[in-house]
Structure 1
Amino acid sequence: MMMFKHLFKLIWNKRKQNFLFLSEILISFMVIFAVFSYLTYYYQNYSKALGFDYKNVWSVSYGNRQLPKNNDSLAIFYDNLTKALKAMPQIENITFSSSNYPYSDSFMSTGLTQNRRKFDRVSNFMVGDDYQKVWKVPLLEGRWFLPEDAVGKDKGVIINETLKNEMFGSQKATGKLIGDYDDKNKLKVIGVVADIKANGDFQPGNNAMFSRLDTGSLKWTGTLLIRVRANADATFESGLYKFMATATHSAIEIQHVNEMRDTRNRQTIIPMVIFIIIATFLIINVALGLFGVLWYNINKRKGEIGLRRAIGASGRSVSYQLVMEAMILATMSLIVGCFFAIQFPLLSVFNIPASVYIVAMLLAVLFIYLLVLFCSLYPGKQAAAIHPAIALHEE
């Protein structure tokens, strides 16, 4: 206890000289906290299940202006097109979809109401009856869409697990009624599926709702999703392109979903790598600064160190004192830094889970302690090697 009292007294007496050290530690902590928050957030998202199978799925975009305008004629056209495509041996399954399918650059959202609670920015997927089969989305509760859902009293919808938990908790959602954003029209939950990370492996699975593409909405549809078999090659892709161009009388674009996934992931990985590189250079500069400050303090305190050695202090105790001073200064800065860092989970900044900030703060504290310890060990060892006679002679 007396030792710590003595250390605090030394630190207080040199408060002006220690201000730079405290400032460097505080700034370093905030930077490291930001880096670890960034990495923890994306790691937590990456570690969660994808929720669907993107392999061997192609998207076909086409124009719908040349298609029949009459709903009955359009339904017959799509029925014939579906049968023709399914007859191809390289195709396992197909479905029509709105443009906001996984890894696309499109986003559609809606609002829902349940027990007077509003749920904003719910991803709204307009899908065909075989959407689940194409993506192999796990069904957790209830069932998927059937053709007879087109004549039901209440429009049937399927929600994802996250939205189900927010709305109904541990209760079953199947059969429950929810409202649209104005709560004027009722929607009947017929199924619950696992969360899907539609925006990339490093992005969270947001609240999502799946609605069935009816005859009226097919006229606006311009996306076909195809699950192909392993033997689907470039020759088949070329033939598929010609078939769709002839059938729809429009320009066709075929994309492989696995390539779209890689593109979306790069949009996260590249900024992450750049951010880490910049932070690494900053940390190296801070480490060199801390090392220099500690080295400068030892040179300024040679007389003090020599006197301590002359009255019997061991080199190990001198080294221990300098390391402990650095650790105490680091603790003082970390207390201030943690005060600011704890505001992020308390205020739900950026709408990120509190666990991300808590883990990042703990990792940043540990990192700073290790950094200060590493930077103070060698100067402390050099201080322990100072001969008392030489130090006193120089003074």
Structure 2
Amino acid sequence: MLRHLLKLIWKRKSRNMMLSLEILLAFLVVFAIAAFGLRYAQLYQMPTGHAWQNQWSVSIRVAGDIPNDAAIYDSLKRGLLDLPEVESVAFSSFGTYEMSRWTEEYTLPDGSNKLTIDAMGVTDDYFKTMDMTLTAGRAFSKQDDGADAAPTVINQRLADKYFPGKDPIGQIIVVANEDKNKRWRYRVTGVVANFRSQGEFMDPVYFMLPRFIPGVGKEAAYNIMLKLKPGTPRIFETKLNAKLKQIRNDWNFVITPQSEARKSMLNTQMVPLIILSVIAAFLLVMVAFGLFGVLWQNTTQRIPEIGLRRALGADAGSIYRQIISEQMLLSTSAIVIALVLLVQLPLTGVFGESLNWTVFLAATVLSASVIYLLSLLCSLYPGWRAARLSPTQALHYE
């Protein structure tokens, strides 16, 4: 039966070629959307490495630069800790669930393994404030004052890359592209399993959290992270803003609960997927109409052939199955050709971890299922219409 169907398809190869091409393009579109969505689902299930339920972010907005003055940061911290709702206060270069990123190239002391690493300067209390747990070593503290290298905490991904099979604690990382005698050095004091500053949909990257010391260096921290007592109402924002204005009346403060920042970030990051899904749905509808029209036309042109088969004893069910099976074989050939092209992507690593084998295989199954379902639905009525023709009607059709 399969051999017979393949012969029939081959004899009409000129007609079937365009149909197969249409199915192939539809599969590619569905695969792209499926891979995008599945990667998002995969990322969402990964831990971000920091809490957000009871954390609030305060962004400092001023005209010009903030002076890195230890007295200013001390007054802010003391004033905020006076509020009974505040459990912990820390400062950072920028906040989590923001589009801000700070990247720079780093190497090992011998100049090897140059990597682009995300970094965010944080104060000693940051890990407690963000409910972060270290898997190795310790967070930096006052005992690191005067150290020969700036203390930093790195994520496990960076530790595995730079120090495979070694204890990362105490290891040195240096800034690349600087004078070898004046390179800024960082010493690893601790490791966190994960840290993704932009939340659930951020791809895992190499990340380091160097120590920010108020009053040391020129760079200032523009973000205050607060850990509040559970159940603190949203109206606390008014009280918090009044306290901040009491400390620094010449600064502006943007207060954002991390639960709201997270929701906003997730919605923003979902926009491309939603737009692509709408476009894909529109294209699939167009493909379905085209596929249905072509199948109807092909079936109509084959009425004499169908009548001959009926006259030779084929029942309606056999005709029905033939029409549907031919369409499924055409879909299979188009999917196989598409996969031969697509499998090169994970093999060559063009998209890195965004198209890993788990995503690729899941997207393949999902896309193939959609195409087969579309082909089945589009062939049901033409097949039924062909199957219900009587041999007499079919043989006398002109």
User: TM-score normalised to the size of structure 2?
Assistant: 0.89
CA 1:311–1:118 in 2, change beyond 3 Å: closer, same or farther?
same
Contact 1:346 1:354 in 2 (8 A): no
Q: CA deviation at 1:171?
A: 4.1
- 1:106 corresponding residue in structure 2: 100
Q: Is the 8 A contact 2:155 2:193 kept in 1?
A: yes
- Counterpart residue type for residue 316 of structure 1: G
Match of 1:280 in 2: 281
What is residue 258 of structure 1 aligned with on the other side? Answer: 259
* Coordinate RMSD, CA, aligned: 2.5
How far residue 65 of structure 1 moved from its aligned partner, in angstroms, is 8.1
User: 2 CA distance for matches of 1:279 and 1:219?
Assistant: 46
Paired residues in the alignment total 388
Task: Provide the secondary structure at the position in 1 that maps to 2:396.
Answer: helix
- Give 1:170 shift: 5.2
Residue equivalent to 2:291: 290
User: What SS does the corresponding residue of 1:279 show, helix, strand or coil?
Assistant: helix
Q: Corresponding residue for 1:150?
A: 145
For 1:73-94, what per-residue CA distance to the aligned partner results, in whole angstroms no more than 9, with x for missing partners? x334433432332122111100
SS of corresponding position for 1:335:
helix
Q: 1:346-361 maps to which residues of 2 (within 5 A)?
A: 346-351=347-352, 352-355=354-357, 356-361=359-364
Q: Give unpaired runs (5+ residues) of structure 2.
A: none
Residue identity (%): 33
Cα 1:36/1:369, change in 2 over 3 Å: same
| Cα pair 1:149 1:156 within 8 Å, conserved | yes
Matched letter for residue 51 of structure 1: G
Shift of 1:267: 1.0
The alignment status of 1:141 with 2:136, answered yes or no, reads yes
Question: Aligned to 2:160, which of 156, 160, 165?
Answer: 165
Of 109-118 and 296-305, the range deviating more from structure 2: 109-118
1:292 deviates by: 1.9
Task: Quote the residue 1:216 is aligned against.
Answer: 216
Aligned-pair distance for 1:392? 0.8
The equivalent position to 1:86 in structure 2, one of 81, 88, 97, is 81
Per-residue CA deviation, residues 54-100 of structure 1 (Å, 9 max, x unaligned), is: 1222222336789996x8xx33443343233212211110001112x
What's 1:117 paired with?
113
The verdict on how the C-alpha distance between 1:62 and 1:331 changes in structure 2, with shifts beyond 3 A counting, is closer
Q: Letter of the aligned partner of 1:372 in structure 2?
A: S
Could you list the per-position Cα deviations for residues 204-252 of structure 1 after superposition, in whole angstroms to 9, with x for gaps in the alignment?
Answer: 2322100111232476223211112246446643333233223234222
Is the alpha carbon distance of 1:8 and 1:323 closer, same or farther for their aligned partners in structure 2, counting shifts above 3 Å? same
Q: Does the C-alpha gap of structure 1 residues 111 and 264 become closer, same or farther in structure 2, counting only changes over 3 Å?
A: same
**Which residue of structure 2 lines up, in the alignment, with residue 190 of structure 1?**
189
How far apart are 1:257 and its partner, in Å? Answer: 2.1
Alignment pair present for 1:177 and 2:172: yes
Greater helix percent: which structure?
1
Who is 2:392 aligned against?
389
Distance in 2 separating the partners of 1:292 and 1:301 = 14
Paired position in structure 1 for 2:4:
6
Is the CA contact (8 Å cut-off) linking 1:66 and 1:250 kept in structure 2? no
**Residue equivalent to 2:346:** 345
Q: 2:60–2:223: 8 Å Cα contact kept in structure 1?
A: yes
Q: Is the 8 A contact 2:33 2:273 kept in 1?
A: no
Task: Look up the SS of the partner of 2:124 in the other structure.
Answer: coil
Distance across 1 between alignment mates of 2:365 and 2:77: 55
State TM-score, norm by structure 1.
0.90
Matched residues in 2 for 1:123 and 1:314: separation? 68
2:17 corresponds in structure 1 to 19
Equivalent residues of 1:156, 1:188 under 8 A apart: yes
**Given the alignment of the two structures, is residue 328 of structure 1 paired with residue 329 of structure 2, yes or no?**
yes
Task: Return the offset for 1:111.
Answer: 1.9
> Which residue of 2 is the match for residue 237 of structure 1?
237
Q: Partner of 1:317 in structure 2? A: 318
Measure the CA separation in 2 of the matches of 1:221 and 1:109: 16
Structure 1 unmatched ranges of 5 or more? none
SS at match of 2:121: strand
Residue type matched to 1:239 in 2?
Answer: K
- Paired amino acid for 1:365: A
Retained in 2: the 8 A contact 1:160–1:207? yes
Secondary structure (helix, strand or coil) at the match of 1:117 reads coil
Find the aligned partners of 2:235 and 2:262 in 1 and give their Cα distance: 23
- Rounded Cα–Cα distance in structure 2 between residues aligned with 1:364 and 1:297: 25
Worse-superposed segment, 154-163 or 237-246: 237-246
Cross-structure match for 1:200: 199
Paired AA for residue 201 in structure 1: E
